Amino acid sequence: MAILYFFADIKPPEKAETPMPGAMQDGVAAGSVSVDFNSILDKARLTLSDNKRDSIAMLELKLEKVRDDKDKAKMLETLGENWTETGNIIVAGKYYADAAAINNDIKTWEEAADRFFVGFPNAADSMAKTFAVQEAIRSYEQLRKLDSSNVEYTIREALCYIDGQGQVMQGVTLLKAVEKKDPDNPDMNLILGRLSVVSGQYDKAVTRLEKLVQMDPDNAEAYFHLAEAYRALGRKEDAIKTLEKCKSLVKDDDFRAQIDSYINQIKN
């Protein structure tokens, strides 16, 4: 999973506060909020070139004339792909989700869910973010119904609740279900370890994250959060050593420079 953005902004953690269920996070209120997709669609159309706008308009006219469900689903997927090419992946996700609602196909639901999941952290405004998070959750719920053995769906749905809606306990409940099935799952352990750091449960974080880096020694994010926990516990040397390991695993020069700055702050 491409979730390194969780620790891209490096700075020493302030006094930890326990995240509360139903909290406001990144401008997105917890719970279900009614969002008008047409408003999002209208804004997306303004980003298109004249040729692309005309091309998509023609596809929309064809869609209105389609009566067979199978053909309608295919046309919706075509629109989804066209919107993907423009970079408007949340809009694209909606067309794939509409297609999936017709054919109930795992691959189509995955196409929708993946676009919403990637789209919500970088959404242009809070309305689009709220819409993408809600649709991602709905899509992953459908995927879990179709394939309950795939824990990836559950983990991503949990991330939507935690990082998209601030509903931490809802997300943790899903992650705990994953833990029962797959206790060594690296993504699950990473998220729960991160949450332990955020909520000030540093001993729990250390236990979980030390186990994770033993199982997955190339997990840069795990080392970073482990270093945060060490630092909070006053284990400065361990924190510095762990950050050095984290730095050795990343290639981005700017990111490595930020880690060096963090290390200097710990030393001082």
pLDDT at position 9: 45
Q: Are 235 and 213 in contact (CB under 8 A)?
A: no
Report the predicted TM-score, pTM, of the whole model to 2 decimal places: 0.85
CATH code, 184-268: 1.25.40.10
Check whether domain 34-181 has CATH 3.40.720.10, yes or no: no
Domain with CATH 1.25.40.10 in the chain: 34-181, 184-268
DSSP state of 246: H
Tokens of 257: 């420079």
pLDDT at position 31: 53
Give CA–CA dist 258/180, Å, rounded. Answer: 37
Question: Which residue do the tokens 């997300």 mark?
Answer: 171
pLDDT at position 34: 85
Tokens of 256: 């490595």
Tokens of 83: 């919107």
Give CA–CA dist 45/229, Å, rounded. Answer: 45
Tens of pLDDT, residue by residue, the chain (268 residues): 333 333 444 444 444 333 333 333 333 444 567 899 999 999 999 999 999 999 999 999 999 999 999 999 999 999 999 999 999 999 999 999 999 999 999 999 999 999 999 999 999 899 999 999 999 999 999 999 999 999 999 999 999 999 999 999 999 999 999 999 999 999 999 999 999 999 999 999 999 999 999 999 999 999 999 999 999 999 999 999 999 999 999 999 999 999 999 999 999 8
